[in-house]
Amino acid sequence: MRILLVQSPTGRPEVPIFPIGLAFIAGQLSRHEISGLDLSLNNEYKTTLQEEIRTFNPDIVAISLRNIDDSSYPVTYSYIKPFTEIMKVLESWEGTVIAGGTGFSIYPELIMDQYPRIDYGIPGEGEIVFPELVDHIEKGTAIEGWSGGRILPWKQTDLSELSPPDYRFIDISRYCLPDAIGVQSRRGCAFRCTYCTYSYLSGSRFRERPVDRVVKDISELASLGVSRFQFVDSIFNVPEDYFEELLAALEEADCKLSWSAWIDENVTRKQLEKMKNAGAVKVDFSPDAITDKGLKRLGKRMRAADLLPAVRSAREVGLQVGVNFFNGNPGEGFWAFLKKIWFMLKVRLTLGWKSTFVNIGTIRVYAHSPLAGYMKQKGQVDEDCTFFEPVFYKICGPGDWLYRLFQRIRRLRHG
Ligand code: B12
């Protein structure tokens, strides 16, 4: 069949992000004729889609809705409007429309209700169910566990069986910027951070891809002229034995690509050195809270005192460092916000202004996260709140005013 794989538009200019979710799906469709289209690269996304449909003439248009909104507070940008616009474009086309992606997966029922133009929705990982659905459409064969509604069952992929992602399904040269191209070595997350959706999306235990396959992906990127990528794994340094095995394989393969990864603070200086030797140039930490009380309430396994030594060690071995906090965590108020600002100034001034980055966001609460349940239980939102329209977990009063001022200054500086 002829399948057009479409990344939903952002609707405004943004740093391009290579659609790795679609690349994984494309990798499982070798029997079919594929074309890839990233509508977020283009302001004229409606006409671009029309034109591609006219020239490629697909049987199926498969759309990845990655994000619902940009999760920014107090000014939130929604990606739903451009998504609605392309749905309208598809109304005058007669083929099959299939939707999936992380944004879709958090709200499948709601999105299917809102967009009758979507024939089928596939929540969760798409590598098994999408090819099964294509077979079903082509030959009328049955899909296990599916009673025939518009939403198909979740099926987790066996990563040892998975064919590699197809990094060629779209022109990758448009994404040659730091962090824009992803490599995935594992899925799922065994931690229980209260605001997080990762375990809902891909399971509450780590599932690793065979190390040689990950190295093959990286060699493939090298052959495509890519010089830098990001590991998109939830936490790169757990499970520890897999982390060490992967680092050893990367060092041995000596692919000459630079990369970044999200890690947690339970990392030794020796491990950071190994990361550097294996090509790492940047690590990102997401402690999110800065006090032991706040960390505990977020379900984090670290202690507040672990953060600075980890950041310092990473800088000492020559890695750039990013640190992400939230303002207004459960158990943290105005003083914790000031502590975060102080931490930001301290690490940037002492560990390198241009190599140490600190971001302070606000928790955008998503459906299916423990925090969403907690807010309902405490009566902070209505019982029927879907969290589709953005809900933020924020403090009130001076901590909020100061945060808004801080965000306004950042917006004026960075646009
Ligand atoms: C890594 C990551 C990033 C990296 C991306 C780096 C890169 N080069 O790719 C960075 C840090 C840049 C980033 C930025 C942002 N991110 Co982010 N990110 C992630 C993360 C951790 C992994 C995404 C990933 O690459 N997965 C690997 C691929 C293989 O999986 P996948 O994309 O899910 O695709 C699978 C399925 O979804 C499905 N699928 C995908 N498309 C389709 C299409 C069809 C038709 C079908 C059937 C199936 C299907 O099949 C795929 C294969 O199994 C997720 C959390 C998570 N655990 O998923 C958040 C996540 C996607 N990000 C999120 C957000 C909010 C953002 C930002 C908006 C944050 C911000 N304020 O800037 C930006 C948006 C950037 C952008 N333009 O997309 C949210 C989206 C939530 C939502 N419902 O809207 C998530 C889910 C995290 C969360 N808070 O819960 N992100």
Last residue of a domain, one of 114, 139, 164: 139
Host domain of residue 375: 176-414
CA 397 to ligand 1 centroid distance, Å = 32
When pLDDT is averaged across residues 364-377 and rounded to a whole number, the result is 95
pTM of the model: 0.97
Does residue 226 share a domain with residue 102? no
Mean pLDDT, the chain, as a whole number? Answer: 96
pLDDT of 371 over the 70 cut: yes
125 and 188 co-located in one domain: no
220 lies in the same domain as 347: yes
129 and 15, same domain (yes or no): yes
Is residue 73 a contact partner of residue 361, using CB atoms and an 8 Å limit? yes
Is residue 164 a part of any domain in this protein? no
Mean per-residue pLDDT, 197-218: 96
Question: Are 183 and 131 in a shared domain?
Answer: no
Same domain assignment for residues 186 and 320: yes
Percentage of the chain surpassing pLDDT 70? 100
Residues with CB under 6 A from ligand 1: 10, 14, 17-18, 20-22, 24-25, 62-64, 66-68, 70-72, 98-103, 105-106, 122, 125-127, 130, 179-182, 184, 197-198, 201-202, 230, 232, 234, 366
Please identify, among 117, 139, 161, the residue that sits at the C-terminal boundary of a domain: 139
Does the CA dihedral 315-317-321-325 come out positive or negative? negative
Q: Is residue 162 part of a domain?
A: no
Say what the pLDDT of residue 56 is: 98
How far separated are the first and last CA of the chain, in Å rounded?
Answer: 44
Query: Looking at the domain assignment, is residue 406 inside a domain?
Result: yes
Same domain, residue pair 371 and 293:
yes
| Closest to 48 in 3D by CA, of 138, 170, 172, 185 | 170
Nearest to 28 by CA among 156, 161, 225: 161
In three-state secondary structure terms, 160 is: coil
Write out the DSSP string of 100-118: ESHHHHHSHHHHHHH-TT-
The predicted pLDDT at position 414 comes to 74
What pLDDT is stored for residue 415 in this prediction?
64
**For 269-299, how does the pLDDT look when each residue is reduced to its tens digit (9 = 90+)?**
999 999 999 999 999 999 999 999 999 999 9
**CATH for 82:** 3.40.50.280
Structurally, how many domains does the chain consist of?
2
* Same domain membership, residue 121 and residue 242: no
Residue 192 has pLDDT above 90, yes or no: no
Whether 166 maps to a domain, the answer reads no
Residue 283 domain-assigned (yes or no): yes
So what's the pLDDT on residue 410?
82
Residue 89: how many other CB atoms lie within 10 Å: 18
Residue 381 shares a structural domain with residue 246: yes
Share of the chain above pLDDT 90, in %: 91
Place of tokens 């007669």: 94
| 86 band by pLDDT with thresholds 50, 70 and 90 | very high
Are 303 and 188 in a shared domain? yes
In a domain, 149, yes or no: no
Question: Can you read off the two tokens belonging to residue 136?
Answer: 């079903």
| CATH number for 275 | 3.20.20.70
